[in-house]
Structure 1
């Protein structure tokens, strides 16, 4: 049995900016996981995929040449990940063998509440890792990121793929998004193998050391949000051609560079200053765009943290979901302030890199 795990993600800085090619972000992998278990299947059984999202029974995966189909609502991303790997296998002269793939999620709680931890990126990563291992395709982290990203941008060309980068590497990640349309065209023109070898302009995929000088705190507003809807609003805005938006992008990259330097140098005061600056920069973007990044609950989360001297900000697309704070140590006063403001404190920590990968169970 092949088992692949990948963590969910939270943005520390760079959300919205990283949607633009070449813009930078710092993201962390957190301690709720997606897990894929895969066993070899017989030719009579054929390939199947199971997930609570697809129903109670395994769903057939039909592979015909480079074409893959899965007749289940919500299975598009898994289908595209398998299709990328089938194409790569054929390019390498490998005949894909049948499999039974089961995908489980810890990113929601038992009642189905969604915390906004980036499940699609983690699903793509574990699917790629498990199926590649089964096909006998040796892939490192860079290739896992690229394969999962190729599948994702086939469906959502505007996706930053930052969640994929974080679910691939785990821990603290410094990421800059490539030109995804160029990556998609490279695959269509030259194939998957070429897409793993040729440069992706703008891409930065870097593991950062896990700092001991700061602790990540995560609060949930009890209101799920749709990243796709919020980002689509971003792309629809005429204000993207304004000087103010250019200033937002420049400031976001400056903050990310400062945060990366602070993490590497274990300078907690500089990391906390970066969070304060990031919160102000996102507020300026919200005022410019009218996207609705900061909800009333997220404003309460930020204000409660400030009341105890801790910088906090929205994380990811906003519009609900989570906010984060950085503190020099675990801060019980912050937790209490959040609870008093109606914010649920999530028991999350940054997942170290050794938790991420493929393992076999005999």
Structure 2
């Protein structure tokens, strides 16, 4: 038995398809980013049935037992700290009933994150990364497997139990750590109050997680506004997404084809189409002043890129190739009060 496991869990950015992707079967393209977190799992031979978690985001450790985890219900995840961690453990418990949890060796989990800066969160999917990290570490420690699809499914449901919205694309990107073409599973449309025990009855049809190979001669950078936005609050505005579905799908498929063909000009065109669609469809405030400035810089410098994710703050991204250097964007962004993160 391997008593020590260590993983890197990436953050994510939506390249195309956000908002529309919350409907099962609607596609999106996402990519992992270097900023993420590390998790280390150590098994203890001295005790059983316990979970001890340490994080550089909290001063005190969190300790619980599998007996306590077995009693977690959805209502317990509505308030308090460590909610995504508790949800991840609860779903792992429900999905792995073949394990003798009372007699499992105690596992100590240690998390360190690079998903915050001195100015605060970067908006790269930290809650998704934490949820995936816990499930992945528990799989490695107690099942000795690296089944990324199983990790995704457990982490996706756990994250949804806490957040109650979203597409789960950030979970898929964190679990598989690669650029992906993604579609959400059918159960997201159920509109019901789930419990951790519902995990085994979920309908995973319509789910798609297909790897895309990022062109080797394309560069990529995050353009951070340092104004983190809440996807949950954005979706809570009850936006009519129906006008997005068909044109968003068309733009996403064009982005996918551009990546597969290493066609930079096609990528630029498809991203711009998706961006204009979002601007026209989403409510006022989607483009903050800083994000509007970022889009102006993209146009002036003739670079491929877009606002990523919920809008209302957070980040954009920019793509370069041999004919399109990112250096001018780095200079112009700094002058505009934006931060470029390679």
| Residues 1:45 and 1:166: Cα distance change in structure 2 (over 3 Å) | closer
Conserved? CA contact 2:243–2:281, under 8 Å: no
Deviation larger for 256-265 or 95-104: 95-104
The residue that corresponds to 2:111 in the other structure is: 103
1:177 to 180, 184, 190: 184
Shift of 1:184: 9.6
Q: Helix, strand or coil: the match of 1:18?
A: helix
Shift of 1:49: 1.2
| Residues 1:200 and 1:27: Cα distance change in structure 2 (over 3 Å) | same
Q: Helix, strand or coil: the match of 2:37?
A: strand
The residue that corresponds to 2:17 in the other structure is: 14
The residue that corresponds to 1:147 in the other structure is: 154
> Is 1:28 aligned to 2:31, yes or no?
yes
The residue that corresponds to 1:317 in the other structure is: 310
After superposition, the C-alpha distances for 1:320-357 in whole angstroms (9 at most, x for unaligned) are: 1111122324421222222222211112xxxxxxxxxx
C-alpha distance in 2 between matches for 1:194 and 1:97 = 29
> Is 1:215 aligned to 2:219, yes or no?
yes
Shift of 1:310: 1.7
Q: Helix, strand or coil: the match of 2:165?
A: coil
The residue that corresponds to 2:247 in the other structure is: 251
> Is 1:284 aligned to 2:280, yes or no?
yes
C-alpha distance in 1 between matches for 2:276 and 2:172 = 26
Shift of 1:194: 6.2
> Is 1:43 aligned to 2:47, yes or no?
yes
C-alpha distance in 1 between matches for 2:219 and 2:200 = 40
The residue that corresponds to 1:298 in the other structure is: 291
Q: Helix, strand or coil: the match of 2:96?
A: helix
Shift of 1:2: 1.4
2:120 to 113, 116, 130: 113
Conserved? CA contact 1:305–1:338, under 8 Å: no
- Report 1:346-361 matches (<5 A): 346-347=341-342
The residue that corresponds to 2:205 in the other structure is: 201
Shift of 1:123: 0.8
C-alpha distance in 2 between matches for 1:44 and 1:222 = 43
After superposition, the C-alpha distances for 1:39-68 in whole angstroms (9 at most, x for unaligned) are: 113327932111233x32222113217235
2:61 to 58, 62, 86: 58
Q: How many residues are treated as equivalent by the alignment?
A: 331
Shift of 1:189: 10
| Residues 1:249 and 1:47: Cα distance change in structure 2 (over 3 Å) | same
The residue that corresponds to 1:340 in the other structure is: 335
The residue that corresponds to 1:263 in the other structure is: 259
Query: Normalized against structure 1, the TM-score is what?
Result: 0.83
Give unmatched runs, 5+ long, in structure 2.
none
C-alpha distance in 2 between matches for 1:190 and 1:87 = 6
C-alpha distance in 1 between matches for 2:14 and 2:62 = 33
> Is 1:128 aligned to 2:135, yes or no?
yes
Deviation larger for 22-31 or 169-178: 169-178
Conserved? CA contact 1:152–1:159, under 8 Å: no
After superposition, the C-alpha distances for 1:178-220 in whole angstroms (9 at most, x for unaligned) are: 13446898x969865565xxx6122111111121353223211
Q: Helix, strand or coil: the match of 2:47?
A: coil
> Is 1:82 aligned to 2:77, yes or no?
no
C-alpha distance in 2 between matches for 1:204 and 1:89 = 24
| Residues 1:115 and 1:29: Cα distance change in structure 2 (over 3 Å) | same
Aligned Cα root-mean-square deviation (Å): 2.7
